[in-house]
Amino acid sequence: MGYPVSLFIPPDTPFIPVNSACRKKGRKVDLKCLFRPATMAVIGVSTSQDNHPANVIYNKNNLRYPVKTFPVNPKGGLLNREPLYPSVGHIQEDVDMAVIAVRAAFVPTVVEQCIQKGVRGAVIVSGGFAEAGNSSLQQRVVDIAREAAFPFVGPNCLGIYAPDHVDTFFLPGERIIRPDKGNIGFVSQSGGVLVDQMVNFAGQGIGLSLAVSIGNKAYVRETDMLDWFDRDLGTKVIAFYVEGFERREGRLFVEKVEQCSKPVVILKAGKSKKGSEAVSSHTASLAGDYRVFSEIMKQHCVAEAENEYELAAFCEALSCYPQGINGKIGILSLSGGHGVIAVDACELNDIAVPRLEQETMDSIKKRLSPEIRKIASLVNPLDLTGSSVDSDIVMAATYLSRDKNVECVLALLLPYSPGVSADIGAKLSQVARNEGKPMIAYVPKEDKYKIIIEGFELNNIPVASSVDGAVLMAKALKRCRPW
């Protein structure tokens, strides 16, 4: 989703070589300059187009984020009564990161200028590189950057969204939906997919620690992001949208996943022949054999999502329960129909719904309200009927959690049942905490049930807005190894 920005550097601008002091081979690259910058230069700001990508990025960060932002255009002068710098070298302060939004042909020159200035890294949003058949130009930028240990994200990307800190997306602030700050780190080759997922995450109440659109991933790649997120204390789950890897890069990715201490979720594109061809034209990646890829992901306990809906469900579940399960589910429902739907979904997703211990069923039956004792079904799935009250539900969840055949409890609630109170979410959360087994809830996503949903979410219990969604969350736990 790079932007083929207009020419802004005059043709006679001299090529500025990197001085020898900047060429520190072997210098360790620190990505903190990209994700936690204190200062940022936006190179390519227009003096005549307020909706130019560089202007959108500059205005957004200058007005809404704590990062100190400097606009750059060779004409110099003023922009909204603030200094407009002729080059990054004219900025008197140290610059942590540059956002480069100039025509592709001039990116090497700008990268050289950044290196000479001592800028520590960049986001290159410009398009027109390998994805457009211009591989040699992209390689030139990479060679310059690697020799100076100058990391950059892109090209052909949206870049970085770090909640409450920095946003290099060239999308107007009023048009983009941002999730709250959370614990999911998300990396995407596609800027469009990333923005869509941010919308999905916000709707599901899933927060992000950091979102990065890496585009052509010419320098910073998935493996680099795995290393970053593995060390980042604010990230619990690492999610990827991947179109393809270079030759032998997939093996390195799998090796790093094996070493990673956090759950990894991946959504792979290019599964079909036509999709594979589309991948190459989008970010110049090699889609590879999808069946081989999928089998490898299973072997290495990566939670592979089949679609964007699963990706969100997997992230939410694993952010609450990174330890994973082997796949035996106990279902508690207030409706026989909901229980049947859940069992069907479990069957489709290869999740076991085991027979409960007789002791479990006897213990529940003995303690149920007299009104429902004779009509409740006490096999798995448990059907307590719509006549049950909070005490029945909490008691049944407690004994279901204690059954040795059950690893995770699915609580399918009907909040419109007359005996269910607004406190049921908090009460069931206490059961999960006391019994030490994962619990996943289904509650219809309606404002009038918000207090019930919050009762779960504030206690780190994932909540799905559909029965199928709850089962998908259980599927995520099964796909992730028990740590």
> Would you kindly state where each structural domain of the chain is located, as residue ranges?
1-153, 177-320, 323-479
User: What is the rounded distance in angstroms from the CA atom of residue 388 to the CA atom of residue 367?
Assistant: 12
User: What is the rounded distance in angstroms from the CA atom of residue 314 to the CA atom of residue 58?
Assistant: 34
Name the residue among 250, 262, 337 with its Cα closest to residue 297.
250
How does DSSP classify residue 183?
E
Q: Which fold has domain 177-320?
A: Rossmann fold (3.40.50)
Q: Where are the alpha helices (DSSP H) in 210-328?
A: 222-231, 249-259, 273-283, 290-299, 308-320
Per-residue pLDDT of the chain (483 residues; tens, 9 = 90+): 555 443 333 333 333 333 333 334 445 578 999 999 999 999 999 998 999 999 999 999 999 999 999 999 999 988 888 899 999 999 999 999 999 999 999 999 999 999 999 999 999 999 999 999 999 999 999 999 999 999 999 999 999 999 999 999 999 888 889 999 999 999 999 999 999 999 999 988 899 999 999 999 999 999 999 999 999 999 999 999 998 888 888 888 888 988 899 999 999 986 645 544 454 444 444 445 667 777 777 777 788 899 999 999 999 999 999 888 889 999 999 999 999 999 999 999 999 999 999 999 999 999 999 999 999 999 999 999 999 999 999 999 999 999 999 999 999 999 999 999 999 999 999 999 999 999 999 999 999 999 999 999 999 999 999 999 999 999 999 876 544
8 A C-beta contact, residue 302 and residue 264: yes
Name the residue among 38, 143, 54 with its Cα closest to residue 97.
38
- Quick one: pLDDT at residue 428? 98
- Quick one: pLDDT at residue 270? 67
Strands 78-79 and 82-83: antiparallel
* Length of the chain, in residues: 483
1-153 and 323-479 in the same fold: yes
- Quick one: pLDDT at residue 449? 95
- Quick one: pLDDT at residue 477? 92
* CB atoms inside a 10 Å sphere around CB 165: 17
8 A C-beta contact, residue 262 and residue 235: yes
The span from the first CA to the last CA of the chain, in angstroms, equals 37
Phi, psi of 38 (to 5 degrees): -95, -30
* CB atoms inside a 10 Å sphere around CB 167: 24
What's the CATH superfamily of 323-479? Succinyl-CoA synthetase domains (3.40.50.261)
DSSP secondary structure of 269-280: ---SHHHHHHHH
Residue with tokens 């759950």: 263
How does DSSP classify residue 256?
H
> Which CATH number is 1-153's, of 3.40.640.10, 2.40.50.100, 3.10.20.30, 3.40.50.720?
3.40.50.720
Residues 6+ apart with CB under 8 A from 293: 250, 268
- Quick one: pLDDT at residue 274? 53
User: What is the rounded distance in angstroms from the CA atom of residue 463 to the CA atom of residue 347?
Assistant: 21
